[in-house]
Amino acid sequence: CGVFGAYRIENASSITYYGLHSLQHRGQEASGMAVCDGKEIHVQKGKGLTVDVFRKDKLNQLEGDLAIGHVRYSTAGGQENENIQPIVSKGHLGSLAVAHNGQIVNEKELRLELENQGAIFQGTSDSEVLLHLIQKEKGTLLEKVIKTARRLEGAFSFLVLDEDSIYAVRDRHGLRPLSYAAFKDGYVISSETCAFEVMGIYDSTDLKPGEVVEFKKGLVKKYQYTQDITHHMCAMEYIYFARPDSVVEGINVHAFRKKTGAVLAKKDVGLEADIVIGVPDSSLSAAIGYAEASGIPLETGLYKNRYVGRTFIQPTQAMRDRGVRMKLSPVTSVVKGKSVVMIDDSIVRGTTSRRIVRLLKEAGAKAVHVRIASPVITHPCFYGVDTSTKEELIGAHMNKDEIEKYIEADSLQYMEVEELKQVAKEIGLCVACFNGDYCTPLYSYQKVLEK
Ligand code: 5GP
Ligand code: SF4
Ligand code: MG
């Protein structure tokens, strides 16, 4: 998911609209906004892309200079309308809205506890648990937010809005990104910095793991809500999820991906190939890095139809199957008769690689050497990225030779976990989906792992 906030910005809804639009790659299932004019919180949300949910007339109805917004990609909770964020509660103590990116692993335990105390939930998302917890705590909103953050385990970067303030919170492991920047007379907050750059903002600050930032009375105040922090930025943000023009923890995503390509090229000394091609869009940076490091020319061997959403995000296998074919076509004149190095960013079920190898061979490629710009995924993610269930993960059941045969590649190579860590050695990465080394207890999800 992606979150965006605007504090003390005139027409906060329109800037939030642009922000969400820039974060659209983080979720296409639903989009929503909660806007406050100092008195009341107005909400607008629905299924689909930001452009479809917010037509011009709808935006105009959302007046105020405070806003938080969300684009949804469902991992926890289903696709029901109740789960579309921001989640808003209008109580006698005032209104609150929450927009959340990540996944809370002790959600079920907290939900049960809240239900036993009489809480009634509308939907099944963990974000609603968050909202209930905040409401139940005592003290100022800052104190409530801090107490809540201390009770949550897992991945979260979330925003809380009330009538006159916004709070931004990041989990103590720093699993999901979250940054803010001064803009005009106020501030903007975003999951990724690419949203700032479209606004002409080139200077921003990352929240630290275990930090709450308060935007209130025109001021920004930072609070470290726990000292018990680690650094586990999700490696998949760099590999696949984030936009190449974003800077995550000081590292540009495109630069990170280029380095992974170079690592792959160094492992391939002596490989005879005519061209390097990337699978658009998320593998293009790695393909550039591979080509630069190997000296093998980069080509456009695959064309992507940009009007089909990210295949993986469509929830059923049947839809995914249809999606992939709609999405990519080989450029026959480029690949015919050639020995091709095909770079993809990740291998999850192996379906994309297998299909693309076939496409390229059908288009006349002499050989297809598949190079994956990450290690093979062997474990499910419980922190907000849909890396699928263990049964579906090809890397959980097959070794490298078996995968190579399955995807019908002439050769297969991917990164080692240590090589991945070296690419961003200045920061700490979460690599749990590659090695099962989760940085938090998993609570009820432990059972999923043991299955
Ligand atoms: P597979 O076909 O092996 O199941 O999935 C790998 C492909 O899915 C890659 O091309 C990658 O770009 C794409 N993909 C789409 N969504 C995701 C996601 O959420 N995580 C990962 N790791 N890859 C994804
Ligand atoms: Fe990211 Fe993988 Fe860690 Fe999930 S398990 S947070 S996808 S690195
Ligand atoms: Mg891809």
Measure Cα distances from 126 to 4, 11, 130, 136, 370 in Å. 18, 30, 7, 16, 38
- Residue 317 has a CB neighbour count (10 Å cut-off) of 11
Task: Look at residue 56 in the predicted model and tell me its pLDDT.
Answer: 77
Is residue 274 over pLDDT 80?
yes
Q: Is 225 helix (H, G, I), strand (E, B) or coil?
A: coil
Average pLDDT, integer, range 211-237: 97
Counting ligands in written order, which one lies closest to the CA of residue 395?
A: 1
Q: Is the pLDDT of residue 64 over 60?
A: yes
ipTM (interface predicted TM) = 0.95
- State mean pLDDT over 436-451: 89
What residue's CA is closest to ligand 1, atom 9? Answer: 346
Domains and CATH numbers, the chain: 2-230 (3.60.20.10), 255-426+436-450 (3.40.50.2020)
Angle at 139 between CA 134 and CA 144, to 5 degrees: 25
Query: What gap in Å lies between CA 172 and CA 227, rounded to an integer?
Result: 8
CA 348 to chain centre: 16
Average pLDDT for residues 351-355, to the nearest whole number? 91
- Burial-class residue 362 by CB neighbours within 10 Å (0-12, 13-18, 19+): exposed
φ/ψ (deg, to 5) at 81? -60, -30
Q: Convert the pLDDT of each residue in 293-321 to its tens digit.
A: 999 999 999 998 877 655 455 546 676 56
What is the mean predicted confidence (pLDDT) over 351-368? 94
The set of residues, in sequence order, having a beta carbon less than 8 Å from that of 333 and lying 6+ positions away, is none
Quick: pLDDT tens for 23-54.
Answer: 999 998 999 999 999 999 999 999 999 999 99
- For residue 326, the model assigns a pLDDT of 64
Going by alpha carbons, the residue nearest to atom 2 of ligand 2 is 433
Active site residues: 1
Task: Give the pLDDT score at 386.
Answer: 77
Tell me, using a 6 A CB cutoff, whether residue 328 lines ligand 2. no
- The model's pLDDT over 135-175, given as tens digits with 9 standing for 90+, comes to 999 999 999 999 999 999 999 999 999 999 999 999 999 99
Cα separation of 389 and 102, whole Å? 17
354 CA: nearest ligand 1 atom: 2
Closest residue by Cα to atom 11, ligand 1, is 346
The sheet with strand 186-190 has its strands ordered as 41-47, 30-36, 66-72, 2-7, 186-190, 179-183, 205-206
Q: What is the DSSP string of 105-152?
A: TTHHHHHHHHHHTT---SSS-HHHHHHHHHHHS-SSHHHHHHHHHHH-
